[in-house]
Amino acid sequence: MTQAIAVHNATKSYGDKTVLRGVDFSVEAGTVTVILGPSGSGKSTLLRAINHLEKLDEGFVSLNGELIGVRVKGDRLKELRPREILRQRAKIGFVFQNFNLFPHLTILENVSEAPISHGIKPAEARKTAAALLARVGLSDKEASYPRQLSGGQQQRVAIARALALDPDVILFDEPTSALDPELVGEVLAVIRTLAGSGKTLIVVTHEIGFAREVADRVVFMDEGAIVEEGVPEQVLNHPAHSRTQDFLSKVLA
């Protein structure tokens, strides 16, 4: 197995509040990693740092051997120009908790927007977008606007949109937290189909059942650091650390 993503000494603070304390973390290509942790544990910040939506104070992220958002200058790291960072992000899909679909564009336009802006011919981009929408079961909604869809449907569109650039890695930031309970299943079902498709998935979620079923590896974070990690069976059923036990007993209660 090759490493798709490696995070080295990720350190970040907002003012005097430290959110990441030197996190080391790596993910093998084609696997599903679920990050768990209480609110404020730094799991979303870590995820957002992977595609450089958050800038790290120290440390770096690499994807398939390429540094993300920075380059080596002498014996230091220097931030890249926005244009280069935007180009790198094409290889990393991101799915937001609040979907963040473009409300003034139709569903089809939402999915084809990024490929068109990366120079794919519009006709071709629309064809790919239509195929992706079929894959998430929303072929009949191509001409609708996001607000005309349910939350679950919107998140499935957001997943199709993240897939449109054929990224190596897809990051999910609490993809089901903004959904009504009965809509969670349809979104998890779409994510499940992506597991084992060759794409590397990193999912921040509170869905323990989903983690147990789909994850190859579970990472538990607290107070800006990784407390423990391992296969789901080990971390979820026999957590070694008292903070993990504490968290699981609260979430599963």
Partner 1 sequence: MTALAQRPTDSPPSDSVPPGIDAHRLAERRVLPLRHPLRWVITALVLVLLLNFAQTLFTNPSWEWEKVGKWFFSPPILKGLQLTIVATAISAVVSFFGGIVVAVARLSGNPVLSTLSSFYIWLFRSVPLLLVLVFLFNLGNLYPEIGVGIPFGPQFTVNTVATLTPLALGVIGLSLSEIAYSAEVVRSGLLAVDQGQHEAADALGIPKRRQFTRIVLPQALRSIVPAYVNQIIGLIKASSLLYYVSLLDLFGIAQNLGSTYPTDVIPLLVVATIWYLILTSVIAVVQYYIERFYARGTVRVLPPTPLQRVRRALSSRRATAGVA
Binding interface with partner 1 (CB under 8 A): 51, 53, 82-83, 86-90, 92-94, 96, 98, 100-106, 113-114, 117-118, 145-148, 161-162, 165
> What is the dihedral sign for C-alpha 202, 207, 212, 213?
negative
CB of 96 to partner 1, least distance (A): 6
> What is the dihedral sign for C-alpha 75, 81, 83, 86?
positive
| Cα(218)–Cα(202) distance, integer angstroms | 10
CB of 68 to partner 1, least distance (A): 12
Nearer to partner 1, 147 or 250 (CB): 147
End-to-end Cα separation, the chain, in angstroms: 36
Nearer to partner 1, 120 or 248 (CB): 120
Q: How far is CA 137 from the centre of its chain?
A: 21
CB of 185 to partner 1, least distance (A): 24
CB of 11 to partner 1, least distance (A): 22
Nearer to partner 1, 98 or 245 (CB): 98
| Cα(102)–Cα(91) distance, integer angstroms | 20
Nearer to partner 1, 55 or 241 (CB): 55
Q: Taking a C-beta distance cutoff of 8 angstroms, is the pair 11, 22 a contact?
A: yes
